[in-house]
Each structure stands twice: as structure tokens, then as C-alpha cells.
Amino acid sequence: MRKKLIAGNWKMNQTKADGLALAKAVFEVASKEKGNFDVLICPGMNLLPLIAELPHEGVYLGAQDVSVAPKDFGAYTGDVSAAQLKDLGASHVIVGHSERRAMRHETDAIVKEKALNAIEKGLIPVVCVGETLEEREEGKALEIVCRQIRESVPSIATGENLVVAYEPVWAIGTGKVPSVQDVEEMHTAIREEIKSLLGESVASTMRILYGGSVKPSNAKELLGVANVDGALIGGASLKVEDFWGIAATQM
């Protein structure tokens, strides 16, 4: 049985004061209202080292990106290595988010390299995939996402060391969500693709999150879809009531 993962992607938000207050609020509610799911928050790099110093039992901490350089240290201005993230206390890192694929021109090859760097340092990459609206309208969504899976997931991936997040680009921050049928079709196709790449036992244990406009009002339905093993939450992770409102649908 795959344990669900409720993950927050805070993106480029918050000052120190706002971010620390939100983290404390999440830690407090998570310590009181335990459910049979894992909780992860991914604050910005301005906050991660500060938040990691707070007691956060039962909540995993992640970064939103990692260096593509396969080095712990070196002349890579602006980069943060997987080893440095691990040293801070992170356990996860988001890689290949569509905002980075689109705005920072990250290719599947780059995403795969980053995922590999993370795994080799003991961090769990949350590898994001997802089609654009145009690709969906052209009937290419499955083909595009399965290609992203094949080319972004490293061959050393297992159900324990890597998480996939399916995030249709057109659903991110828009309030639009795919139909339950479309989510089920895509998550099933992703699991099949993982199976043909890495085998049945990896495929059956790997968590595949859904992301894109998840809210307390739609979480129960989306997280109830076959092969959906949790959520990657952007906007709604910035308010503890909304983030925990989503988690609470799984209690």
C-alpha cells in the first residue's frame, strides 16, 4: 500500500517573517492531527535553512531545485548542490517543475541529471511532468508525459528514492483541473511507463502525485482517483487552513 504524500511547493513567496510563521503553523497542526500520510513542505532557499532549525518532527523538508552539477562544491555561482541541501536537513527536492522547464529551459536531460544528483546524495527527487494546454488539445498529453517520464527518470530510481508529480501545465495556478477520468488515465499510463522502464516492483511502490489547482474542495475527489498517491500543492500550500484542509481529507 502506497502511503499518500501531501506536499507544499511554496515557490518564490514569503519574507523571513511570513515563511517562519507559516512553517510553525504547519508543524503545529501536523503534530496534533496525525493522519496516515506523509507531509512535505518545500520553502524557498531564503527560508529552508531557517525552517530546518525549527522542531519539525513528522514533516519532511524539501527544496524547489538542485544544481545540475554532479559535484558537492565548486565554481557554480548561484547553484546549491544536493550535498548542500542534504546538509541543511532537506530530505526531498522538486526537480523539473514546469515553471523551470518553461522559464529556465530545463530539458528532460537536465531534469534527469538533477534527479540523479539528488538520489546519489540521499535526497528524494519529486520529478514533475505534465503537458501544456496545446498538447492536450492536440491529443498528445499521454505521449508527451510518457516521454518526459522515460527521459527524466533515472534508471536507479525506485519507489523509495523517487516520487513523480503529474502536473498539467494548464492546471497550475489557474483553478482548472482535469476530469477524474483524465487524471486516472494519465496516472495509470505513468505507472505503466514506469513498469516498462523499471519493472513491476518499482512501478507498484512509486508514488505518483497529482498537482495543479488542488484545493480543500477538490482534494478528496482528486486524491481518491486510482493511482493518485498524494498532491503537490502550490497556491493552497501558502495558507495553513487550505494546506491542512487538503491533508484533512485524507484522515
Does position 9 bind ligand PGA by CB under 6 A?
yes
Distance CA 31, CA 57 (A): 7
Distance CA 199, CA 155 (A): 11
Per-residue contact string for residues 216-235; x = within reach of ligand PGA by CB under 6 A:
----------------xxxx
Cβ 92 vs Cβ 61: under 8 Å = yes
Does position 154 bind ligand PGA by CB under 6 A?
no
Does position 106 bind ligand PGA by CB under 6 A?
no
Using CB under 6 A, pick the residue from 58, 74, 122, 173 that binds ligand PGA: 173
Task: Output the smallest distance, CB 135 to ligand PGA, in A.
Answer: 17
Find where cell 501545465 sits. Answer: 169
What does the radius of gyration of the chain's CA atoms come to, in whole angstroms? 17
Task: Output the smallest distance, CB 199 to ligand PGA, in A.
Answer: 28
Instruction: Give the three cell numbers for residue 42.
Output: 518545500
Cβ 214 vs Cβ 246: under 8 Å = yes
- Cα 112 to the center of its chain, rounded Å: 15
Q: Which residues contact 160 (CB under 8 A, 6 or more apart)?
A: 124, 205
User: Nearer to ligand PGA by C-beta: 97 or 203?
Assistant: 97
Does position 39 bind ligand PGA by CB under 6 A?
no
Task: Output the smallest distance, CB 167 to ligand PGA, in A.
Answer: 6
User: Nearer to ligand PGA by C-beta: 131 or 167?
Assistant: 167
Show the beta-strand stretches assigned E in the chain.
Answer: 4-9, 37-42, 59-63, 92-95, 124-129, 163-166, 207-211, 230-233
Task: Output the smallest distance, CB 133 to ligand PGA, in A.
Answer: 14
Does position 58 bind ligand PGA by CB under 6 A?
no
User: Nearer to ligand PGA by C-beta: 202 or 243?
Assistant: 243
User: Nearer to ligand PGA by C-beta: 67 or 98?
Assistant: 98
Catalogue the active-site residues.
Answer: 97, 167
Distance CA 227, CA 205 (A): 11
Size of the residue set binding ligand PGA (CB under 6 A)? 13
| Total residues found in the chain within this entry | 251
204-214 in b/e form (b: 16+ CB < 10 A) is eebbbbbbbbb
Does position 212 bind ligand PGA by CB under 6 A?
yes
Does position 211 bind ligand PGA by CB under 6 A?
yes
> What is the binding site for ligand PGA (CB under 6 A)?
9, 167, 172-173, 211-214, 232-236
